[in-house]
Amino acid sequence: MALGTLTTRHTQALFGALGRLARAPLATAMTLLVIGLALVLPAALGLLVRNAESATGGFGHAVDMSVYLKSGVSLARARELAVEARAEPGVDAVSVISAAAGLRQFRQYSGFGAALDALKSNPLPNVLRIVPQPRASGPAALEALRRTFASWPEVDMVQLDAQWVLRFNAILAVVRRLVSIAAVLFGAGVLAVIGNTVRLEILNRRDEIEVTKLVGGSNAFVRRPFLYTGTLYGLGGALLAWLVLETAVLGLQAPVAHLARLYGSGFALTGLAGRELAVLFGGGMALGWLGAWISARRHLRDIEPRA
Amino acid sequence: MIQLERVSKRYPNGREALTNVSFFVDRGELVFLTGRSGAGKSTLLKLIALLERPTRGTVTVNGRSTGALKARHIPAFRRHIGVVFQDHKLLADRPVFDNVALPLVVAGAPLKEIDKRVRAALDQVGLLGKERLLPMELSVGEQQRVGIARAIVGKPPLIVADEPTGNLDPDLALEVMRLFKRFSEVGVTVLVATHDLHIVREFGSREITLTSGQLTGGAPDPLPSLVASR
């Protein structure tokens, strides 16, 4: 078949589908609403995860590690170890807190000054304070780093000062999994809604389909407008979901910015962008097409011309 | 063009509509298929247009046996046959133009050509100027002629018509039959099922008569060698 003919046919099918959707605005709007809302939930969760990740990305430098050296390790050796530590992958900065400096800090902040004076010697070890690079601030990377330092013979213990970041990341992992589950469930919902809508339309247009087959319309020809209908539903639903999310983000931006400021963070809530939009629209259209295809395949077979 | 060999058709309900029917129609022939209602005329046309398949025997149209045709080849097969239905089978919600254009749209003809050929077909059935009307706005006879225009618009080599004049007054009926005659004169094979014996006599064309699903007359073989037996 000539390319021009194919283009003509697709254009006809597209405009035919658009026309039919426009002629029943109320039914179309209801269907779009259902599809749109079904797409909103997984997209909103995804947006939540992404924003939470970027919010905590700013905490990367809040994560640090205290490596307590054994009490016999001298300050000079501690300085050598600091140089070695700096060479470890994923390490951003290393500072040495000498036993004396540690004691001074402790005396200053703890209020146990008098009690410390009673001690004959400094009970504190030399400590290396390690700041990981932001990209090595994930739970797995931090754990790997901790294990590396713990295995050094001079190291007594390693304390991670950011347990809460790890817990937060774990929560995010749970939500991320929820996004996947919601996407599958609601995707199946969209599939069913579009499939059923297309089924009803096929039944409504039974006579037309029969006559079209009668004059030699192939299955592909008969199916095409329905596939466009499904794809358009998916596109419209994605558009609606996007609008809903943008509105929600707009409404939340000010209070979230206020909250972030209270935590001393410049974090700002952002809506879907780039790849995420592509996933929403691509996913919506793919689900629409697939739902229509399944339905059309199943129901068009049953309509054969009977003169 | 059309060859039936010992064709029988039994419907799922057990009724045998055709029994051991054989005949041959040559290219460019105008043949009338006559018989009472229920004699099997419609069934025979359905077998030729591949709306039904024979229970036994073979139906060959335009050199292709319908029995061996795969489902995906049926659409292309149907595009080579113009079918006129007793109940027109027009789309009520589409204007006359769209109804007539459907076979061309389905075949993927360019828009310009569709426009030209639809007008030509409507002109031939005397309905030029009524393109934008809905079938409901036409008389029954006009609707019938829209159906005929749709059957001829794709210039098929074969036209089968089931009681195309059933709803027409005698003058119009004659007019439509003359139209079919003209088609046959330019090489189109035309098979018309009718119970209007008056018209059949008028045209003096070959007549095939069915009685209770069996061929009872008027099937002199123009090419006996091609048909094994009757």
Distance of alpha carbon A153 from alpha carbon A84, whole angstroms? 13
When CB atoms are compared, the residue of A9, A207, A212 closest to B102 is A212
When CB atoms are compared, the residue of A1, A216, A306 closest to B103 is A216
Whether B226 shows a pLDDT value over 50: the answer reads no
Distance of alpha carbon B210 from alpha carbon B219, whole angstroms? 10
DSSP state of A216: T
pLDDT digits over A94-118, tens only?
888 888 888 887 777 777 777 777 7
The Cα of B83 is separated from the nearest Cα of chain A by a number of Å equal to 8
Burial class (CB in 10 A: 0-12, 13-18, 19+), B69: middle
Per-residue tokens: A143: 């754990």
Q: Between residues 41 and 80 of chain B, which touch chain A (CB distance below 8 Å)?
A: 42, 45-46, 49, 51, 72, 75-79
The Cα of A281 is separated from the nearest Cα of chain B by a number of Å equal to 31
When CB atoms are compared, the residue of A2, A207, A215 closest to B103 is A215
Distance of alpha carbon A39 from alpha carbon B189, whole angstroms? 57
Q: Do A156 and A106 fall into the same domain?
A: yes
For residue A105, tell me if it sits in a domain.
yes
pLDDT digits over A10-38, tens only?
887 788 888 888 888 888 888 889 999 98
User: Bridge partners of B209?
Assistant: B34, B217
When CB atoms are compared, the residue of B51, B83, B111 closest to A8 is B111
**Biggest alpha carbon–alpha carbon distance for chain B:** 50
Q: Do A112 and A43 fall into the same domain?
A: no
Average pLDDT over residues B151-171: 87
Q: Do A119 and A67 fall into the same domain?
A: yes
Please check whether residue A232 is in contact with residue A286, taking contact to mean a CB–CB distance below 8 angstroms: no
For residue A307, tell me if it sits in a domain.
no
Distance of alpha carbon A55 from alpha carbon A223, whole angstroms? 47
User: Is residue A275 classed as helix, strand or coil in its secondary structure?
Assistant: helix
Chain A positions in Cβ-Cβ contact with residue B105 (cut-off 8 Å): 12
Tell the CATH superfamily of the B1-80+157-230 domain. Answer: P-loop containing nucleotide triphosphate hydrolases (3.40.50.300)
For residue A194, tell me if it sits in a domain.
yes
Quote the pLDDT of residue B153: 93
Boundary of a domain, candidates A161, A196, A230: A161
Chain B positions in Cβ-Cβ contact with residue A218 (cut-off 8 Å): 72, 75-76, 106
For residue A119, tell me if it sits in a domain.
yes
pTM for this one? 0.71
Distance of alpha carbon B31 from alpha carbon B4, whole angstroms? 14
Q: Do A262 and A224 fall into the same domain?
A: yes
For residue A116, tell me if it sits in a domain.
yes
- Concatenating the DSSP letter of every residue in chain B gives -EEEEEEEEE-TTS-EEEEEEEEEE-TT-EEEEE--TTSSHHHHHHHHTTSS--SEEEEEETTEEGGG--GGGHHHHHHTEEEE-TT----TTS-HHHHHHHHHHHHT--HHHHHHHHHHHHHHTT-TT-TTS-GGGS-HHHHHHHHHHHHHTT--SEEEEESTTTTS-HHHHHHHHHHHHHHHHTT-EEEEE---HHHHHHHT-EEEEEETTEEEE----SSGGG----
Quote the pLDDT of residue B69: 83
Per-residue tokens: A204: 């409504």
For residue A306, tell me if it sits in a domain.
no
Quote the pLDDT of residue A306: 65
Whether B219 shows a pLDDT value over 70: the answer reads no
Burial class (CB in 10 A: 0-12, 13-18, 19+), A251: exposed
Domain span at A140: 62-161
The residue with tokens 């990377």 is A141
Partner-chain contact B150 A305, CB within 8 Å: no
**What is the three-state SS of A53-81?**
HHHHHCCHHHCCEEEEECCCCCHHHHHHH
Please check whether residue A202 is in contact with residue A296, taking contact to mean a CB–CB distance below 8 angstroms: yes
The Cα of A196 is separated from the nearest Cα of chain B by a number of Å equal to 24
Quote the pLDDT of residue A27: 85
Q: Do A270 and A171 fall into the same domain?
A: yes
User: Comparing B204 with A202, which gets the higher pLDDT?
Assistant: A202
Average pLDDT, chain B: 85
Q: Do A288 and A173 fall into the same domain?
A: yes
pLDDT digits over A177-234, tens only?
888 898 899 989 989 999 998 999 898 888 888 889 888 888 888 899 899 999 999 9
Per-residue pLDDT band at A170 (split at 50, 70, 90): confident
Quote the pLDDT of residue B223: 46
Whether B227 shows a pLDDT value over 50: the answer reads no
Q: Give the chain B residue whose CA is nearest to the CA of A214.
A: B78
Q: Do A101 and A155 fall into the same domain?
A: yes
Question: Of A210, A211, A215, A303, which to mutate for an interface test with B (greatest number of B Cβ within 10 Å)?
Answer: A215
Per-residue pLDDT band at B229 (split at 50, 70, 90): very low
pLDDT digits over B11-43, tens only?
888 888 888 888 888 888 899 988 888 888 888
The ranges assigned to domains in chain B are 1-80+157-230, 83-155
Distance of alpha carbon A240 from alpha carbon A281, whole angstroms? 10
Whether B70 shows a pLDDT value over 90: the answer reads no
For residue A227, tell me if it sits in a domain.
yes
Strands B189-193 and B158-162: parallel
Q: How many residues does chain B have?
A: 230
Q: Do A119 and A88 fall into the same domain?
A: yes
Q: Do A180 and A243 fall into the same domain?
A: yes
Distance of alpha carbon B171 from alpha carbon B179, whole angstroms? 12
Tell me which of A99-108, A243-252, B158-167 is least confident.
Answer: A99-108
Residue A152 sits in a domain whose CATH number is 3.30.70.3040
Into how many domains does chain A fold? 2
